[in-house]
Structure 1
Amino acid sequence: NAYHLVLNLQPDKAQLLLNKSSSPSEELYKIYVQSLSETVDVLITEDQKKFDQMEINFHQRLQYIDKLPEGPEKLFLQAELTLQKGFNQLNIGQNINSVLSIRKAYNIAQECIKKYPSFVPIKKTYGVLQVMLGSVPDKYHWLMSLLGMKGSVSMGQKHLQELRDSKSSLNSEAKILFFTIKGFISQQFAEAVIGFDECLKEYPNNRLVLFLAVNMCMKDSKSEKALEYISALDQFNQGLPVYYLEYLHAEALLNKGDYQNAITFYQKFLKGYRSQSFKKDAHYKIAICYWLLNNESESKVYFEKAKITGKDIADPDKNASIQLEENGLPNQKLLKVRFATDGGYYKEAKRIVQSLQYSELRSLKEQTEYFYRQARLAHNTEEYSLAKFFYEETIKLAKENPWYFAPNAALQLGYIYIDQKDFAKAKKYFELAMSYKKHEYKSSIDLRSKAALEQMKVKV
């Protein structure tokens, strides 16, 4: 059906099916699917023209919905469409408009839950809102209170779980959202990968699920598995072109040490992707690939291109921007350890670490990164005592320098102590992670620390 075509990233085919339907009884279903289709399209392509058209369509749909008789379906559609609008506004940087849309969606969803507690579909909208609002950093809580909103990641997950377990036609969407949140918000990437594997048994070759599975594998240091999913996606390429996948393909190849092919896919991404996001990082990574191929002259060309390309909004772009401010070329061995660890190529990472002499480290930053890379490697290979030691050394060496090594070391120590049921120490490290004032991953590390602290309250 059209709904499943949208979830398979085939909006054009979905639209053809919807156009054939003229039954008045299907009008609400049609509105929901069309709006979801446009939202997924705009979130993936970040195309400004499509966003502008969606704004026009949104107002037309809402005018129609406003004339409907009172009931749960009316409130659900009002809340859902307004939330989708908020997502897209947030994605293109309209932060104030986004907050206003999210607040409106929150109020409508709350009204629906109170008036019609047995109406299952609203659990999707309300669950997503709870997760979003529950992840807002503490420093914005005054604004949340002012706007009359509060959220909880665990409560949001509970609503989505209930929808997953129901017979609602939205349960497949709830499954996808549930595991996406488990990964990106709760940092439980291994569980998210297992979850998406289960989804693929139910919806074989679903392009959205495959795309999200690639993302989770990359976050879970499983580049080989990510490359398998990418290969599957290449076989089912009908529908919305996902240029961001070319970027992830390049990242996986960089982790593997296949620098020449990584360059090819970064360039494919740059050619097709319309948004400015990740373009600075892609140029920076091409420069890194050339540097690791010992082509210093070509690497310098791309370092210069990276300086004048894209925006510093996405975390990888912020990180690239900070690295580009440094004088001199980065340490090749530290780069190789980083990428091999990120990809799950642990034998290679260990081999390079063992070949690295401490005397080769030219600055305090390189010395700090040396301990940080060893910590990440030990953590990923489940050598937790060693990981804790290296994370602690990272924090001591970094002091108050504006590098992400110490805040992420604190975040990772928090996760280790949660697994070891030492909640007091976990709390200490999550709070330490949020206390660092300035670094390129501040927003994401703060969000993850806050989500972990909140979920810890539920466990204790």
Structure 2
Amino acid sequence: MRLRRFTIIAFLFFSISAIAQRFAVNENCREAYQHILALDFNRGREIIASEKSKNPDNLYTLYLENYMDFLKVFISEDEDLFDSINDISNERYDQLEELAKSDPYRSYFLGNMNLQRAVIRLKFHKYFYAALEINRAYRLLTDNKEKFPGFVPNDITLGVLHIMIGMVPDNYHWVLRLINMKGSVKQGREELMNALRVSDNDPDYTYLKNEVLFFMGFVELNIKPGKQQLDTLFQQIELADSNNLLLSYLQINILMKTGRNNEALYQFKKINRMTGYYPFYYLDYLQGECLLRKIKTRQAAVYYTDFLDRFTGKNYIKDAWRKKAWIALLNDDVAKYRYYLDKVAETGNDDIGQDRDAEREAESGKTPNIDLIKARLLFDGGYYRQADSVLSAMPVNGLTVEEQVEKTYRQARIADESGGKEAAKHLYNKTIEEGKHLTRYFAGNSALKLAMIYEEEGNISKAKYYYNLCLDMDFDEYEAGIHGQAKAGVKRLSD
């Protein structure tokens, strides 16, 4: 009897040991992780192959391969590619489920894979399965946090999830209550900040820093893009990794968001020299945007064309055609403007604000005011004096109500970004008063910008008033993004 008991115990011990030995976060895996997050998939694959040769039972390689496949689909928006990797992804998932439940990496891997799948399914409008996977990811990662509160990698994905939950519109909160999902932007930010601190100070987690920076960057860009926070983040990225295409993409987004167009164009010169990385054709679109903001129409057209010729996804397609139409208009070619605008209606989808805006322009049948287009482009590039000169030279008479409201709004934005806060307040209020009944976004965004000014000044009551005023307005353009920032502002001031 004792011999039998010893045999069973020995069998269990060696079985558990065998499972434990099937997983290791070693130097090879950390290095592969870095290259994958840099979109240097060729080098990532080489390191994974080396690890498989040395440690064929290390299941970490399955997670790395899956992460690489996720990034490929996310960047390319290629639904056929997603379908082709679905079976192998399921096999990897099943194998990772075999890890011991006492290992925090098990639920971390499974939670991440569920969230990654959900993000892809959302891109392809597969909402039911995406909802199931988001819920599953939340359960896995929340349970993992309770069991292993000091396990830092978990904080990264859980932080992103908590921010996503915090951004859900109020009219959908009943769904969150129904499935018992809780989280806030503040909580998610704190979790990401904690992960960044640990990755800065603990050599075991240094390899995660670039991932944390990337998520933090897009949180800041989409929640409340304060210039100081973005500048600090930009400097941290500068120090992190100069050969990381994903972080370079984030840097370009930060520079474009803060009106530093010349610096963004310099970043493009750097990344255009980077070879061997996974094709990231959306960067062609962004380079076209930067060049157009400098009114470099001929050069911009080349990059928009490259994007349209090579990108396999559906997002930004309509807007790229619209920008080619604007280029034609800036070059006094109305016939070509009409031709390109017809392409807007025929291609892409309208999931994002820019594409919906392009679709509305195509459907309106109206030719936009060329001076307002030029002023908008110059402002977006941070060329405030040139933009103001264009607006100042516009005739006083002959503008439609909508054009006059847009002109006032553009002047408000220039004053705001140039430091003239009192002038900006006056012009924003004028925009709200004259534009609140229009379907354009000018009045709504003016209320948001006023709220941000008052929040920075410490005038909480006025900030809340304008955030709520923004939320009370209905408009057709960029409503989700503008309302999302206003909602985050209300929550921030209520905490």
Task: Tell me the TM-score range normalised by the shorter chain.
Answer: over 0.9
User: Are the equivalent residues in 1 in contact too, given 2:444–2:475 (CA < 8 A)?
Assistant: no
1:442 is matched by which residue type in structure 2? Answer: E
Number of residue pairs the alignment of both structures matches: 457
Deviation (angstroms), 1:24: 4.7
CA–CA distance in structure 2, aligned partners of residues 17 and 334 of structure 1:
52
Question: What is the CA–CA distance in structure 1 between the aligned matches of 2:241 and 2:126, rounded to whole Å?
Answer: 34
**Aligned position for 1:391:** 428
Name the SS for the 1:31 alignment partner: helix
SS of alignment partner, residue 221 of structure 1: coil
Deviation digits for residues 415-457 of structure 1 (CA, Å, limit 9, x no counterpart): 1111111111111211222222341211111211122222223
The 8 Å contact of residues 182 and 189 in structure 1, kept in 2 or not, is answered as no
2:112 to 74, 80, 83: 80
Q: How does 1:347-362 map to 2 (within 5 A)?
A: 347-361=385-399
In 1, the alpha carbon distance for the partners of 2:380 and 2:94 equals 49
User: For the residues of structure 1 that align with 2:258 and 2:312, how far apart are their CA atoms?
Assistant: 27
Q: Tell me which residue corresponds to 1:173.
A: 211
Partners of 1:240 and 1:355 lie apart in 2 by 46
Which of 430, 442, 445 is equivalent to 1:408? 445
- Aligned counterpart in structure 1 of residue 297 of structure 2, from 256, 259, 265: 259
**Unaligned 5+ runs, structure 1:** none
Which region of structure 1 is more displaced relative to structure 2, 233-242 or 171-180?
171-180
Deviation at 1:399, TM superposition (A): 2.4
Maintained 8 Å contact 2:237/2:251? no
Equivalent residue number for residue 193 of structure 2: 161
| Aligned twin of 1:324 | 362
2:10 corresponds in structure 1 to none
Partner of 2:237: 199
Is 2:143 the partner of 1:111?
Answer: yes
Deviation at 1:113, TM superposition (A): 0.7
Pair 1:12-2:62 in alignment:
no
Q: Is the 8 A contact 1:280 1:320 kept in 2?
A: yes
Q: CA deviation at 1:255?
A: 0.8
8 A contact 2:378–2:384 mirrored in 1: yes
Letter in 1 for 2:141: A
Q: C-alpha distance in 2, partners of 1:390/1:95? A: 41
User: AA paired with 2:240?
Assistant: E
TM-score by length of 2: 0.89
Residues in 2 aligned to 1:264 and 1:190: alpha-carbon distance in whole angstroms: 34
Contact between 2:42 and 2:276, CA under 8 Å: does it hold in 1?
no
- C-alpha distance in structure 1 between counterparts of 2:462 and 2:421, whole Å: 15
Give a deviation string over 1:309-352, Cα, whole Å, max 9, x none: 22111110001111222233111111111111110011111111
1:99 and 2:131 equivalent? yes
Q: Distance in 2 between matches of 1:205 and 1:10?
A: 9
How far 1:102 moved relative to its partner?
Answer: 0.8
Secondary structure of 2:364's aligned partner = coil
Change beyond 3 A, Cα 1:24–1:97: same
Structure number, greater radius of gyration: 2
* Distance in structure 2 (CA, Å) of the matches to 1:194 and 1:289: 35
Whole-Å separation in 1 of the counterparts to 2:451 and 2:464: 7
Distance 1:201 1:66 in 2: 37
Query: Would you say 1:268 and 2:299 are equivalent positions?
Result: no
**CA distance 1:393–1:266, shift in 2 (3 Å):** same
Question: Is the 2:63–2:92 Cα contact (8 Å) retained in structure 1?
Answer: no
Kindly indicate whether the alpha-carbon contact (under 8 Å) linking 2:35 and 2:41 is maintained by their aligned counterparts in 1.
Answer: yes
Is this contact kept in 2: 1:281–1:306, CA < 8 A? yes
1:179 to partner: Cα distance: 2.2
Does 2:175 correspond to 1:137?
A: no
Q: Distance in 1 between matches of 2:452 and 2:57?
A: 47
3-state secondary structure, aligned to 2:494: helix
Cross-structure match for 1:67: 98
Checking the alignment, whether the CA contact within 8 Å between 1:193 and 1:217 is kept in structure 2 is: no
Corresponding residue for residue 50 of structure 1: 81
Q: Secondary structure at the match of 1:310?
A: coil
Residue in 1 that maps onto 2:13? none
Specify which of 420, 432, 443 is matched with residue 457 of structure 2.
Answer: 420
The answer to whether structure 1 residue 245 and structure 2 residue 283 are counterparts is yes
Q: Secondary structure at the match of 1:93?
A: coil
For residues 25 and 69 of structure 1, do their structure 2 counterparts lie closer, same or farther at Cα, with a shift above 3 Å needed?
farther
Instruction: Evaluate the alpha carbon distance shift between residue 76 and residue 242 of structure 1 in structure 2; reply closer, same or farther with a 3 A threshold.
Output: same
Q: Which runs of 5+ in 2 are unaligned?
A: 1-30
Q: Per the alignment, do residues 429 and 96 of structure 1 end up closer, same or farther by CA in structure 2, a change over 3 Å counting?
A: farther
- Residue aligned with 1:358, SS: coil
Q: Supply the distance in 2 between the matched residues of 1:325 and 1:260 (Cα, whole angstroms).
A: 26
1: CA distance between counterparts of 2:127 and 2:477? 19
Query: How many Å apart are 1:26 and its aligned residue?
Result: 7.0
Structure 1 counterpart of 2:16: none
Deviations 1:161-196 (A, max 9, x none): 111111223233112212221122332355334413
The more displaced of 409-418 and 198-207 is: 198-207
Tell me the amino acid that sits aligned with residue 322 of structure 1: R
Q: Deviations over 1:19-46 (max 9, x none)?
A: 2212558724323322222222211111
- Once the two structures are superposed, residues 217-265 of structure 1 have per-residue CA deviations (whole angstroms, 9 ceiling, x without a partner) of 1111111111011111101132111111111111111110111111111
Distance 1:247 1:62, change over 3 A: same
Q: 1:25 to 1:133 in 2, by over 3 A?
A: farther
Letter in 2 for 1:17: I
| Alpha carbons 1:205, 1:232 under 8 Å: kept | no
Which 10-residue stretch deviates more, 250-259 or 202-211?
202-211
Letter in 1 for 2:155: K
Query: How far apart, CA to CA, are the structure 2 residues paired with 1:190 and 1:54?
Result: 41
Q: What percentage of aligned pairs have identical amino acids?
A: 30
User: Could you tell me how far apart the structure 2 residues matched to 1:182 and 1:137 are?
Assistant: 18
CA distance in 2, matches of 1:26, 1:385: 65
Distance in 2 (alpha carbons) for counterparts of 1:87 and 1:437: 28
Give the alignment partner of residue 370 of structure 1, picking from 399, 407, 432.
407
Select between 303-312 and 289-298 the one with higher mean Cα deviation: 303-312
Paired residues of 2:384 and 2:414 also in contact (CA < 8 A):
yes
Deviations 1:99-127 (A, max 9, x none): 21111101111101111112121111111
Cα 1:237–1:414 change in 2 (3 A) is farther
Q: Which amino acid aligns with 2:430?
A: E
Equivalent residues of 1:410, 1:433 under 8 A apart:
yes
- The one-letter amino acid paired with 2:465 is K
Counterpart pick for 2:348 among 307, 310, 316? 310
1:341 to 379, 388, 391: 379
